[in-house]
Amino acid sequence: MKRRKPDDESTDTSPSKKIKAIGKQEMEYMRKTKPKQHNDSNNEDEAYLATHIVCKLETHEAEDWKSPEGALRWLLQSPLTNKDLTVEKFNKEFLHVKPLYISRENATYYEELGFSFDNLCQISDKHTFYLGEHIMCKKYDKDSHLELSPFVANENGEEALDELSGQKLKKLLREEGYTIQMHHLQHYNTAIHELLYQLECYYKVLFGSNVYITKRGTQGLAPHFDDVDVFVLQLEGEKKWHLLQLPPSQANPIRSSENLNLDEIGATKLMECVLKPGDLLC
């Protein structure tokens, strides 16, 4: 199977969102980061929101995506490209075989999911979330090859749980340049919950959703691969991805990797692409 690894570096000047639906099947190189809701994405300094999940395509009737095969068709169909790509062809020729990149040229393609960084801030204000427990914040240092995280100390100098609000998230993202990672978005969004349910019914495996919010011009996570398959949906902004294939000696691992130094592992370039709003990578 092809292994994948994204650059996780935001390249656009508008917010970026990605959605990733994770099915327990095989592994890919990916970048990945509990939630409330909010709205101010008109700010040009707004971070990129990279959320991982599955999404409904607006070319179908509403009842169509509420079926197992319909949910998968929503992910794969494009009015511009891959018109002959059927569910059967995807499962046979792409899944576990090679990457699929779909460019839609439709920035509102995933609007019906109803998710944004503002939503995440609102969710954080309504629920009790702690840094490092429900929401992770990281930024990648390319010189040291390390992922850095904010540290909050208690009175003994030990790391303490820091309760997160929408304002704290904005500061961590915009002022300090951390990528915000949130798992299990489907617990707070009914549309995402429905889509994951349908995909679980189709593939007979568990699905989950992760959100990644990355500030323009920064990188959140180190190169790595995961032990799951993913669908990456770009909601806003742009993100450049580098997909690599592991050398034969490391092919088909059964666990996610540690952070990788690409100069040392000898991976072969598989694909490069820039995801724009409405695009899909899987």
Task: Please say whether the beta carbons of 182 and 211 come within 8 A.
Answer: yes
CA dist list (Å): 90 to 12, 75, 97, 171, 180? 30, 11, 10, 41, 31
CATH architecture observed for domain 9-281: Sandwich (2.60)
pLDDT digits (tens, 9 = 90+) for 214-229: 988 888 888 888 888 8
Report percent pLDDT > 90 for the chain. Answer: 29
Question: At 157, is the pLDDT very low, low, confident or very high (cuts 50, 70, 90)?
Answer: low
Domain boundaries defined on the chain: 9-281
Task: Please say whether the beta carbons of 55 and 195 come within 8 A.
Answer: yes
**Residue 281 or residue 141, greater confidence:** 281
Question: At 266, is the pLDDT very low, low, confident or very high (cuts 50, 70, 90)?
Answer: confident
pLDDT digits (tens, 9 = 90+) for 165-211: 999 999 999 899 999 999 999 999 999 999 899 999 999 999 999 98
- The mean of the pLDDT values for the chain is 75
How far from the centroid of its chain's Cα atoms is residue 199's Cα? Answer: 17
Tokens of 194: 């429905």
Proportion of the chain in helix, strand, coil states, percent, rounded to 5: 20, 25, 50
Q: Is residue 253 scored above 80 in pLDDT?
A: no
Q: What is the largest CA-CA distance in the chain?
A: 62
Question: In the 8-state DSSP scheme, what is residue 159?
Answer: B
Map residue 68 onto helix, strand or coil.
Answer: helix
For every residue of 118-157, which 3-state class applies, written as one string? HHHHHHHHHCCEEECCCEEEEEEECCCCEEECCCCECCCC
Residue of 109, 78, 59, 69 whose CA lies nearest to 234 = 109
Q: Is the pTM of this model over 0.85?
A: no
